[in-house]
Structure 1
């Protein structure tokens, strides 16, 4: 079979490998789509993962079960499933015992395509431990191109559920990529009053409005973001809840200093890989609640699929490119022009 393998910094190779076989408590999945995540791009750029290289990347996977190992009873050949991070660790750490598998102390390094087991940038994917992998059947009426978005969409779903957001709140979403778009969709469904999208690309405004944003502010062009938000809200204070979805310090600073009302909440969904350059004493007098949010649980993946199947949510235009494994570097990991690009999927069968 064909597989996309990371060997080091900007060293990604397409190889022929033997098709995997299922041992006890294992599955083999024929991949339909694998999503390219910002994490994959970062791994490619720095040439490092939380495990020895080489490794097949890809932790956002959907496909069809083609082989079932001894001891597997919950899945059969022909099932369409999505394959996520660990559902719970073998050690059942304190987080897993509470059902908070997203903050399992062992889980992230054991996620296929991230921490050791090979991922789904391949024609076939071996689920090495069925009992401790987030495997969820895809409803018949759900398109696999929507199902494979579970990773990025459920990051937003988890953050919204973890927040203090309630019906009628005014909200700001900073960041207009897939996580921000998904957050806007869930906030709209959840009954937000006014949704303000804060971004840096005015060309996205029609799509943001389609997803449910009521207003758009270009953070690079607006000279006083805080005052503009207050004018929109008709209030002397900012938003009730602010969601940071861009994953950079400029966005987080805007959220804290410009967007949130005194006593409001900032929820950090983006993964910020920069030193923090904020001065707590300059805003702590207003007692904002700063809440960090990380990935999602299996329950939230099931909620996402159920809402898709019921037609309660949709993500039109989220998938902007479907590419082959051979195009993975040029059109995915090392793509030069990302204007208008949201989610890129790999179809290894192309």
Structure 2
């Protein structure tokens, strides 16, 4: 194996991507070196490029969703060996404003942390597995995180039972990656009804994920509120607004019952009101953050089984051409709103 690899590099803050080379890192204790077969794209990737947020050290390599083959195993790693296919989330230290190039996706080889790495079952490909990590972790922390989420009892705990059974939940943006996993986790937790919004062309998709009721995302705020009230008159204690624009937050806030929780993926534009006890949580899917670590360790231990049994379905995906170079155009498509209900995936090994 050559000590050098190809990588999609952001040379400076708000710069332009270019394909270059960098050294292949070596795994330390508790880490794996993975040959990346598939890397999925996320909106955060173009936002980092355009705004300079999160990343402080340049040149930088971006990307968070990884699937590939284990090349080397660090000391103390028990559950993987060279040649294993793996699915991994390497969204490293995002909450702390740090981004470690040795743990990112837009390159041919990367390090992963064994605790947040799962084997890919035979029924899934590297492409489908690459759509899982960030979306699933963000949905999971938003629902079950005690500090960074709604604090719902995780479905794998003994005390979960049917605690959420017959309790409604609203998920705004159900065809997005995070939304799709939020729907599936809500179903796993026993919520009913599971009400979601999406564009009409994605109605069948969100129903396949487990949504019991679909509403057109193009409805006005008043129309959406009225439609949801027709579905359930029960108090809505959890609303997960994956879109998190000011207009969707306003609707979500109006839906939320007293002492309920609104989960967002972007900064809040609504203000908490102490009188009704409603609260707003801005979540993020970083399993390496100490507040999320135990929760995500428990979930990642189940990812292989969830995928194998179909409990969690990966996102629909489209493979981009031209390896790492194809990522640039893919991010532009995401930015311009051309991608819906589908995850874009690149093959770094196909880079010329």
The alignment's TM-score, normalised by the length of structure 1, stands at 0.77
Match of 1:13 in 2: 18
User: Contact between 2:116 and 2:300, CA under 8 Å: does it hold in 1?
Assistant: no
Describe the SS at the equivalent of 1:5: strand
Q: How much does 1:82 deviate?
A: 3.2
Match in the other structure for 1:346? 346
Deviations 1:175-203 (A, max 9, x none): 2311111111222233222121134x232
1:22, 1:68 within 8 Å by CA — same for their partners in 2?
A: no
Q: 1:211 aligns with which of 206, 209, 212?
A: 209
Change (3 A) 1:302 1:110: farther
Residue pair 1:29, 1:126 contacting (<8 A) in 2 also:
yes
Supply the distance in 1 between the matched residues of 2:205 and 2:195 (Cα, whole angstroms). 13
Q: Which of the residues 265, 283, 286 maps onto 2:276?
A: 286
Alpha-carbon deviation of 1:46? 1.8
1:172 Cα deviation after fit: 0.8
d(CA) in 1 for partners of 2:328, 2:283: 30
1:281-316 residue CA offsets vs partner (Å, 9 max, x unmatched):
5xx43332444433242222222332111232324x
The 2-side partners of 1:23 and 1:161 are apart by 31
Instruction: Provide the residue aligned with 1:161 in structure 2.
Output: 144
Which piece of structure 1 moves more, 76-85 or 333-342? 333-342
CA distance in structure 2 between the partners assigned to 1:339 and 1:83 by the alignment: 23
Q: 1:154 and 1:329, CA in 2 relative to 1: closer, same or farther beyond 3 A?
A: same
* Runs of at least 5 residues in structure 1 that lack an aligned partner in the other structure: 88-105
Inter-partner Cα distance in structure 2 for 1:232 and 1:68: 51
More displaced 10-residue stretch of structure 1: 4-13 or 190-199: 190-199
Could you tell me whether the CA contact under 8 Å between 1:40 and 1:57 is conserved in 2?
yes
TM superposition shift of 1:14: 0.9
Q: Is 1:266 aligned to 2:248, yes or no?
A: no
Deviation, structure 1 residue 30: 0.8
Question: Aligned residue for 1:96?
Answer: none
Contact residue 66 and residue 78 of structure 1 kept, 8 A: yes
Spell out, residue by residue over 1:140-182, the C-alpha distance to the aligned partner (whole angstroms, 9 max, x if none). 5443333321221122123333444711111111123111111
The residue aligned with 1:3 is 7
Asked if the contact 1:65–1:76 (Cα under 8 Å) also holds between the matched residues in 2, the reply is: yes
Shift of residue 37, structure 1, vs aligned partner: 1.8
Alpha carbons 1:49, 1:115 under 8 Å: kept: no
Structure-2 change in CA distance of 1:107 and 1:293 (3 Å): closer
Other structure's SS at 1:332 match? helix
The match for 2:156 is none
TM-score by length of 2: 0.77
Q: Secondary structure at the match of 1:328?
A: helix
How far apart are residue 27 of structure 1 and its match? 4.1
Q: Is the 8 A contact 1:256 1:266 kept in 2?
A: no
